[in-house]
Amino acid sequence: MKPAPFDYVAAQSVDHALTLLAGEVEAKLIAGGQSLMPLLNMRLGRTDLLIDIGHLEELNHIRIDEEGRLVIGASVTQADVQNHPDVLAGWPMLAAGIGEIGHPQIRNRGTICGSLAHNDPAAELPAIAMALDAVAEIHSVNGTRTVPVEDLFIGPFMTALAEDELLKQVVFPPQQEGAGWSFKEFATRPGDFATVGVAAQIALLGENVSDVKIVVFGVAGSALRLDATEASILGRPAERAIDIAVSELEMEIKPAEDIHSSHLFRKELAVELLKESIAEALERCL
């Protein structure tokens, strides 16, 4: 199929993109185009104007700021982040999770910020950004605001971004020293969207769990932070963490049925992936 007609502008700067977004014409940003173009081509969406930000050098940065945070601009591709030495050293879960996104061709064009702005419930990056406590820096002609990514995701393919807003960069705080991490997912075939996935980060004090973050995706409209499951193992002995977490998880999630799998299959997958990810995160604790 072909998309409905639209105009195209390669933005000259972020300010130019923001001015166009705030104009009268119905407009959409395009970065890597790996989610938006299929939607337009299949006529599941339409727009009068595409504003291209994918080439903007002022958004093409991966840097560590003075507070040791990882800052990723909106035109940085997933492949650039996946292979970046600072990311591999300080945020290995991010690099590992990106490796599960589609195929290399997708990651060479698709951006980190584009995936967060798109918020596909089966996408890896919203879950990972939540598990790593990332913060979104959002710009419009009216100013700038920062939002914890947890508050950005409000439903399937829906975010708290207003129509005139641009996600300029995403900021990942330094990760706790000695914490172990794990990212696990199940997909029917390599490169397919995941059916279910889990991102976990655990720290120990002696034999007990002193900090824990667990996010699951593919079981709800958006990536889901497992607050009750986390609370159930916090302060408890690491050797009991898997058993306690599994019984809590079974009460905490209520996956829906769809054409890809039954709710029971999704629940079983979540349980198995949770077990594996807690075990792996504990093994990686220093």
Ligand X SMILES: Cc1cc2nc3c(=O)[nH]c(=O)nc-3n(C[C@H](O)[C@H](O)[C@H](O)COP(=O)(O)OP(=O)(O)OC[C@H]3O[C@@H](n4cnc5c(N)ncnc54)[C@H](O)[C@@H]3O)c2cc1C
**Site residues, ligand X (CB under 6 A):** 28-36, 38, 74, 101-102, 106, 110-111, 113-115, 117-118, 120, 123-125, 161, 166-167, 193
What is the closest distance, in whole angstroms, from the C-beta atom of residue 62 to ligand X in the complex? 15
What is the closest distance, in whole angstroms, from the C-beta atom of residue 57 to ligand X in the complex? 15
Cβ proximity to ligand X, 120 vs 133, nearer residue:
120
Cβ proximity to ligand X, 123 vs 200, nearer residue:
123
Cβ proximity to ligand X, 158 vs 234, nearer residue:
158
Q: Which residue is nearest to ligand X (CB)?
A: 110
DSSP the chain: --PPP-EEEE-SSHHHHHHHHTSSS-EEEESS-TTHHHHHHTTSS--SEEEE-TT-GGG--EEE-TTS-EEEETT-BHHHHHT-HHHHHH-HHHHHHHTTSS-HHHHHH-BHHHHHHH--TT-HHHHHHHHTT-EEEEEETTEEEEEEHHHHEEETTEES--TT-EEEEEEEPPPPTT-EEEEEEE-SSTTSPPSEEEEEEEEEETTEEEEEEEEEESSSSS-EE-HHHHHHHTTSBGGGHHHHHHHHHHHH--PPP-SS--HHHHHHHHHHHHHHHHHHHHHH--
What is the closest distance, in whole angstroms, from the C-beta atom of residue 156 to ligand X in the complex? 13
Cβ proximity to ligand X, 15 vs 250, nearer residue:
15
What is the closest distance, in whole angstroms, from the C-beta atom of residue 231 to ligand X in the complex? 28
